[in-house]
Amino acid sequence: MDKCVRREVAVFLQRNPSFDKGSRYPGHSLRARDAKLVYGFFVACASPQASTMDCGATAEAPSLPWRTWSNTTMWGVAGLCRAFLSTLCHAEVHGYDEFTALLDSRKDPAQRSRGLITVSNHISVMDDPLIWGLLPMRFWNKRWSFGSHDICFQTRPLSFFFTMGQVLPTHRLAHSSFGGLGQPAITEAVRLLSKGPFAVDHHRATPERQCFSLQNVCIDPFSDLSIAYTTNGEDAHLAPSAYSRNSHSWVHIFPEGKIHQAPRKTMRYFKWGVARLILEANECPDVVPMWIQGFDDIMHESREFPRFLPRPGKDVSVTFGSKVDTDEIFGEMRSRWQKLRAKIEKRDPQSRDLPAGVLSDELLHNKEAVELRKEVTMKIRNLVLDVRRTRGLPDEDPKEGLVETWLEEGPKREGHMKDDSWVRDI
C-alpha cells in the first residue's frame, strides 16, 4: 500500500483505537481492519500523486482522504446531473462564457481577493445540484451551499454525504429554536467569503466531539486539529473556514428559503441571511444573480408515485447574469454597516471582541441594522429580477417582494396555496 496512505491509516488507528478490535461495521460484512485497507487502497488509486503529497490535515486544507471523498462526491453527483440533463432533457444556458470565465479566474485560491455569491430563485428540490451539472467539471468549480439540518443531516449517512458535498447545516427557525440570523451556518458562510483561516471559537464543539467516530462522521478522521463546530450543542461538523485554502470561497444561496412553484414564475420575499453575507465579509463578495426555469417540471410538488424520481423530457434553462459592480451597488450600505457596528461596539466594548461572523444581540436586533438588512436583501432580489426580465417574463407586482404579502397565506406553510402556487418548506 502507498506509504502516505499507510501513515494516514496509522494516524486513524491511533486516534480511534476501538476500530482495531476486529469488530464489524453495522450492516457490513467487512471487518474494521479490512474496511480500512479497502479505504486506503481507494485513496491510493484515486490519487496517483499521493506518494509525493502531504496527506495529513494542515491549517491549509483537510487531509487527502477527506478531500478525495469530497471530490468524489461532488464530481459523481455533478456527472449524474450532467448525464441526466444532456441525454434526457433539453437544457439551455445563457451567460455561460462570462460566468465560466469568472470561475476560471478564481481557480487559484491564493490569488482570490474576494468571495463569490451566486443567488437565484428556488423552484424544485433538485435545483442544487442539477443546475451545476451544466458547468464544466473542473476541480475549482465547487460551491458551498446551505441545507436544512432536519432534512439533510437527520441521519449519519446523510450527514456524511452532504458534508462531502460542501453543504452547511442550517436550522430553519420554523422547525428549530437554533435557527435564525445568528446561527453557525451564517457565521461559516461569512468566513468562507472572507480571508481565512479562522479559529473555531464561538461555536466550538465539545472535546469529545472533536474526533471522528461512527457516531460523529462529519469530522476528518485523519486530522489531529480540533476544529469542529456545533450547530445545536450536540452535533459536530468540520469547520471549512478553519482552512486557508477556503478563503474567498464561492457560496450559493436560495434566499427565498422555500421551494416556490408559481404559474406566473414569480418569487417569494427574500430572507435576510443573504444580507449578512454581503455586509460582513471582509471584502464585499462578487455577486452573480441567476434565474432558473423548468426544474419545477422535473420535480413538481404535485407529482405522484414515484415521487423520488426526476421526470425526464423537460425543457430547462439557467441564466447567469453579469457580475455586478458591488462597490457601486453595496459600497454605501457596507459603509453604513461599518459605522453602525463601530457605534454599537463603542457603546458595548464586549461586542468588539466577538470573532468574525458572530454578532452581539444588539447588532442582530438593532432597528437600524434590521432596516439595513432589509434594504440589502431587496437590492439583491431586484438583481435577480433583472435577470428574470431578460427571459422575456413580465414584471412582478412589487408587493411580491414584501413579507407582509406572504403573511396572507396564513398558517399553511407548504402545499397547494390559494394563489395556485406550490410551496415546499425545505
Predicted confidence (pLDDT) at residue 29 exceeds the cutoff of 80? no
One domain, residues 167 and 30: no
Predicted confidence (pLDDT) at residue 419 exceeds the cutoff of 90? no
One domain, residues 6 and 78: no
One domain, residues 46 and 121: no
Per residue in 371-417, pLDDT (tens digit) is 999 999 999 999 999 999 999 999 998 888 888 888 777 677 789 98
Predicted confidence (pLDDT) at residue 245 exceeds the cutoff of 90? yes
Predicted confidence (pLDDT) at residue 125 exceeds the cutoff of 80? yes
Predicted confidence (pLDDT) at residue 4 exceeds the cutoff of 70? no
One domain, residues 195 and 266: yes
Q: Which structural domain range is residue 8 located in?
A: 1-55
Which pLDDT belongs to residue 191? 98
Which pLDDT belongs to residue 15? 52
**Mean pLDDT of the region 324-344:** 96
Which pLDDT belongs to residue 24? 34
One domain, residues 89 and 216: yes
One domain, residues 149 and 274: yes
Which pLDDT belongs to residue 413? 79
Which pLDDT belongs to residue 353? 84
**Mean pLDDT of the region 235-256:** 96
**Mean pLDDT of the region 59-64:** 90
One domain, residues 110 and 248: yes
Per residue in 133-189, pLDDT (tens digit) is 999 988 889 999 999 999 999 999 999 999 999 999 999 988 899 999 999 999 999
Look at residues 55, 77, 97 and tell me which one is the last residue of a structural domain: 55
Secondary structure, 3-state, the chain: CCHHHHHHHHHHHHHCHHHHCCCECCCCCCEHHHHHHHHHHHHHHHCHHHHHCCCCCCCCCCCHHHHHHHHHHHHHHHHHHHHHHHHHCEEEEECHHHHHHHHHHCCCHHHCCCCEEEECCCCCCCHHHHHHHHCCCCCCCCCEEEEEHHHHCCCHHHHHHHHHCCEEEECCCCCCCCCCCCCHHHHHHHHHCCCCCCCCCCCECCHHHCCCECCECCCCCCCCCCCEECCCCCCCEECHHHCHHHCCCEEEECCCCCEEECCCCCCCCCCCHHHHHHHHCCCCCEEEEEEEECHHHHCCCCCCCCCCCCCCCCEEEEEECCCCCHHHHHHHHHHHHHHHHHHHHHHCHHHHCCCCCCCCHHHHHCHHHHHHHHHHHHHHHHHHHHHHHHCCCCCCCHHHHCHHHHHCCCCCCCEECCCCCEEECC
Lowest mean pLDDT among 81-85, 199-203, 266-270: 199-203
Which pLDDT belongs to residue 411? 72
One domain, residues 158 and 25: no
One domain, residues 280 and 244: yes
Predicted confidence (pLDDT) at residue 204 exceeds the cutoff of 90? yes
Q: What domain count does the chain have?
A: 2
One domain, residues 144 and 7: no
**Mean pLDDT of the region 190-205:** 93
Grid cell locating 382: 431586484
Per residue in 267-297, pLDDT (tens digit) is 999 999 999 999 999 999 999 999 999 999 9
Which pLDDT belongs to residue 14? 57
Grid cell locating 297: 417540471
Residue percentage of the chain with pLDDT more than 70: 87
Which pLDDT belongs to residue 7? 54
Which pLDDT belongs to residue 319? 98
One domain, residues 255 and 153: yes
What's the chain's average pLDDT? 87
Look at residues 37, 55, 73 and tell me which one is the last residue of a structural domain: 55
Look at residues 40, 55, 70 and tell me which one is the last residue of a structural domain: 55
Q: pLDDT category, 5, cuts 50, 70, 90?
A: very low
One domain, residues 149 and 136: yes
